Homo-oligomer: A and B are copies of this chain.
Amino acid sequence: MNARTESPDQQLRARARRVVPGGMYGHMRAEGLPPDYPQFFDRGQGCHLWDANGRRYIDFMCSWGPIVLGHQHPGVTEAVNRQMAAGDCLNGPTERMVELAERLVGLVTHADWAMFSKNGSDATTTCVTLARAATGKRKILVAKGAYHGALPWCSPHPLGVTAEDRAHLITYRYNDISSLEAAVDEAGSDLAGIVASAFRHDYGLDQELPDAAFARRARALCDAADAALILDDVRAGFRLTLHGSWDLVGVQPDLSAWSKAIANGHALAAVTGNGRYRDAAAKLFVTGSFWCGAVPMAAALATLDALEQGDGPARMRAAGQRLRDGLAAQAAVWGLAIRQSGPPQMPTLLFDDDADCAKGYRFCQEALKRGVYLHPRHNMFLSTAHSDADIDEALQATAQAFEAMASGG
């Protein structure tokens, strides 16, 4: 290809291929997306995103979850600038850590305490380690196909992983009480904990909200076995409710893992727990060079304030429902059979009879061309920056995308 005809994104990809294995890694590798999706980005503002080619999109990925108030949210920016002028990474925490732990204990129904880290994987791993530390047992139940991070014990792509890394994992099927009971039986007297996602948001599949009876049974099984009920709220936390996602079905976990939306894009994760796990948590050695960083904690305080004061989850729900209703009506007009699943704040859109995702790819490409950034397989994310006007503008583009699909070509 001629360098003069290459786009900035293509030029960056070529440079990246020389100094980054495969040009990019992990969940943000553009190879998982339809052709023409950009790999590199320049900036963000509200619900808008500009790629390295200078194209603007109404964005429905929200950086795969972290952006919950939109980019450049004034309240977060102000808190970040204020904290940055004082100090971020010091010889210990600042008052922000105490304030944020107090805030989470006040907001999250099950929480008596909080600890902070950087990655969702840090938080889920701490929960599992803590469950083992507190119970003196080893077996951890996880739902088949669920994503809990990218460390050897939980990575969905186990290259370089040894059998021993997963020696004490037992799988069950999400929302399937009998499979959960069978897994608990298999763990026997060695059950340390049951890990469950806030809802079933497995890649490429229809999403499933937690069944209340399933959640209650998980709670009862943990109580009977003196094991930890661990909620992986990394992806869903603070979008569905500020009180812990299973609060919506009336079930409280012992431990929860949080990250993504907690600080509107600043690197932060958290574990919250109840009193039963406090003593063991105090004995645990978990740490990282940047875990006391005050700027992400200041960002989190501002994010939670904005979400609470602005009724963030309800607003995102309404915006997501407006999008969902519009898409459903459009698909019906063109006789295209689609399935929309999951909470409206984190919607998944799949086409019927689309095993290779060709339809999903086509639809998303057509939308992308028209300035709307959707994902054909992964759940998407709304933010409080998505106004009714933004949704309606996006729906104009998706109407044309459906039309282009239906008319072939």
Contact = CB atoms under 8 A, between A and B. Distances in A.
Interface of A: 12, 15-16, 18-22, 24-28, 30, 38-44, 49, 52, 59, 61, 63-67, 71-72, 77, 80, 84-95, 97-98, 101-102, 104-105, 112-115, 117-122, 125, 128-134, 138, 150-153, 155-157, 159-162, 164-165, 167-168, 234, 259-260, 265-267, 273, 278-293, 296, 373
A381 to B, nearest CB: 10
A157 B287 CA distance: 11
A39 B119 contact: no
B287 A102 contact: no
B41 A266 contact: no
A387 B214 CA distance: 63
A85 B43 CA distance: 8
Given A121-B288, A288-B26, A15 B98 contact: yes
Contact of A151 (B66, B125, B266): B125
A346 to B, nearest CB: 14
Given A130-B160, A267-B267, A20 B89 contact: no
Given A40-B92, A61-B91, A160-B284, A292 B152 contact: no
Contact of A114 (B20, B41, B65, B122): B20
B159 A283 contact: yes
Contact of A113 (B19, B66, B67, B293): B19
A21 B281 contact: yes
Given A21-B113, A129-B160, A290-B267, A373 B91 contact: yes
B284 A39 contact: no
A85 B296 CA distance: 16
B87 A44 contact: yes
Contacts of A12: 95, 98
26 contacts: A16-B97, A18-B102, A20-B97, A25-B115, A26-B287, A40-B94, A41-B93, A42-B86, A49-B91, A63-B90, A63-B91, A63-B289, A71-B87, A80-B84, A117-B119, A118-B267, A118-B290, A125-B152, A129-B161, A131-B160, A132-B161, A132-B162, A162-B167, A165-B165, A234-B289, A267-B267
Given A94-B40, A168-B164, A285 B159 contact: yes
